[in-house]
A and B are shown apart, each in its own frame.
Chain A
Amino acid sequence: MATELKLKELSKKEDRLTPGHRLCAGCAAPIIVRQILTAIDEPVVLANATGCLEVSTTIYPYTAWNVPWIHTAFETAASTISGVEAMYRSLVRQGKMEERNVKFVAFGGDGGTYDIGIQALSGMMERGHRALYVCYNNEAYMNTGIQRSGATPLGAWTTTSPVGTVVPGKPRHRKDLTAIAAAHDIPYAAQASPHNWRDLMKKVRKAVAANGASFMNVISDCNRGWRHETDQTLEVTRLAVETCYWPLYEVEDGEWRLTYRPKEKLPIEEFLEPQGRFRHLFAEQNKHIIEELQAEVDRKWKQLLQRCGEEE
């Protein structure tokens, strides 16, 4: 029987990611990892791309991982887990190892997933390895100093899309990687958020039960790069979802389903306002960018509602 998704039951489980890691105070990544690893009852083996999560949890000779874990390089979370999963299948098939219903999970930031790691991810999905790939998306290459990524939204300040006198932040919209993953026709793809832990955990369980590759894109607030106080992590994350900037949905065997619909769709300003990386957009000459952002959020939201068979 799977552990009930009740905090009182879940809190009895052993920490698979221990304290003593060196992620920033208030970082969403370890919140996400803790929720994911708590939701999975089966044994897990993890692969991790280079990035905040990887470097901060494994500064030799310390490791915060209480489960088997491997890092090889930046763009290789998906290709590495493909090799691990294949070895497991091979050894079990040959009778060299017992079948223990092991779950294989790869973690990568948006850097290692949207950009440099997209090839490996695509290959893993196309080949149908039975592994879950989780992208903890903090919308920039945070570990190397907040440089822009393919996940960075329009107008955001980053160190390689800074706000200058000529160009006010990132000039283009971000990629829709969850849709790209779903377009690989994998059995399960989803978008989630750690502030809605129950939704996230339900999705994780579906993902690891899938008979093939699965993908989860999880919004991962970074108070350093997004520029806000450390205690605002979950509030800002909540606003991302309530403004429909980061919708919560799943694609299960090709069927699109909205798993959370805000009672009231908040204007994008509510998400932008608390974050220093968008502060410049509130200057008069940049207000049109907020309008563009709103228009894009509205367009994608409408598209999503249609795909999910929801009323507008």
Chain B
Amino acid sequence: MVDLNAGWRDIPRGGKIVEAGNAREYETGSWRAMRPVVDQEKCINCLQCWVFCPDASIIVENEEMVGFRYEYCKGCGICASICPVDAIEMVSEAEAESEAVGAASGSDRRPAKDE
């Protein structure tokens, strides 16, 4: 766990960061004004959204797109714009929050097709 109040004695010398990938503790989801939502009926699991997401926020399990990592998703809208079957729609974050469609932090996992 990152300690933002660590003293000079507590941290590795030379500015090294030894916990690889600990940026995962920094949730960028609060940046967005819009959030993607997926219509699983339309989704064909082409995984284009996965390869084009700048923030690795598309969850793929068993070769299927199952949802978004809302704790990181910045709401850029690239996934919605490139989806070949228009399965992804960008909705207002404020609306989504007020409707409690998904949590603002924590992944919102849509059930996979055959669940």
| B residues contacting the other copy or chain, number (CB 8 A) | 44
Any A CB within 8 A of the CB of B46: yes
A61 at the interface (CB under 8 A from B): yes
Report if A31-B54 is in contact (Cβ < 8 Å); known contacts: A18-B21, A21-B23, A22-B26.
yes
Query: In whole angstroms, how far apart are the Cα atoms of A10 and B53 in the complex?
Result: 14
Residue pair B55, A30 in contact (C-beta under 8 Å)? yes
Mark each residue of chain A from 143 to 174: 1 if its CB lies under 8 Å from any CB of chain B, else 0.
Answer: 00000000000000000000000000000000
Q: Which residues of B contact A195 (CB under 8 A)?
A: 52
Q: Nearest Cβ in chain A — how far from B108, in angstroms?
A: 15
Contact flags B49-70 to A (C-beta < 8 A → 1, else 0): 0111111110010010000010
Residue of B nearest to A201 (CB): B51
**One of B20, B75, B90 near A63 (C-beta < 8 A):** B20
Bitwise, B29-40 to A at CB < 8 A (1) or not (0) is 001100000000
Q: Tell me whether chain B's interface is mostly helix, strand or loop, or mixed.
A: loop
Q: Are B17 and A60 in contact (CB under 8 A)?
A: yes
Query: With the chains together, A195 CA to B54 CA distance in Å?
Result: 12
| Inter-chain contact A20/B82, CB cutoff 8 Å | no
Give the residues in chain A near B31, CB-CB below 8 Å: 25
- In the complex, whether B96 has a CB less than 8 A from a CB of chain A is no
B104, CB-defined interface residue at 8 Å: no
Specify which chain A residues have a CB less than 8 angstroms from the CB of B54 in the assembled complex.
23, 25-31, 34, 233
Q: B23's contact among A12, A19, A29, by CB below 8 Å, is which?
A: A19
Residue of A25, A29, A64 touching B75 (CB-CB under 8 A): A25
Q: Are B78 and A67 in contact (CB under 8 A)?
A: no
Contacts of B102 on A, CB cut-off 8 Å?
A: none
Minimum CB–CB distance for A50 against chain B, Å: 14
Chain B residue at smallest Cβ distance from A38: B51
Distance (Å) between the CB of B97 and the closest chain A CB? 18
List chain B residues, Cβ under 8 A from A67: 20
A48 at the interface (CB under 8 A from B): no
Distance in angstroms from B49 CB to nearest chain A CB is 10
* B98 contacts partner chain A, Cβ-Cβ < 8 Å: no
Q: Per-residue 0/1 for A1-24: is the Cβ within 8 Å of any B Cβ (1 yes, 0 no)?
A: 000000110111001011111111
Please name 14 pairs of A and B residues whose Cβ atoms are closer than 8 Å in the assembled complex, sorted by A.
Answer: A7-B46, A7-B48, A18-B24, A22-B28, A25-B32, A25-B54, A26-B54, A31-B78, A38-B51, A60-B17, A61-B3, A61-B22, A62-B23, A233-B76
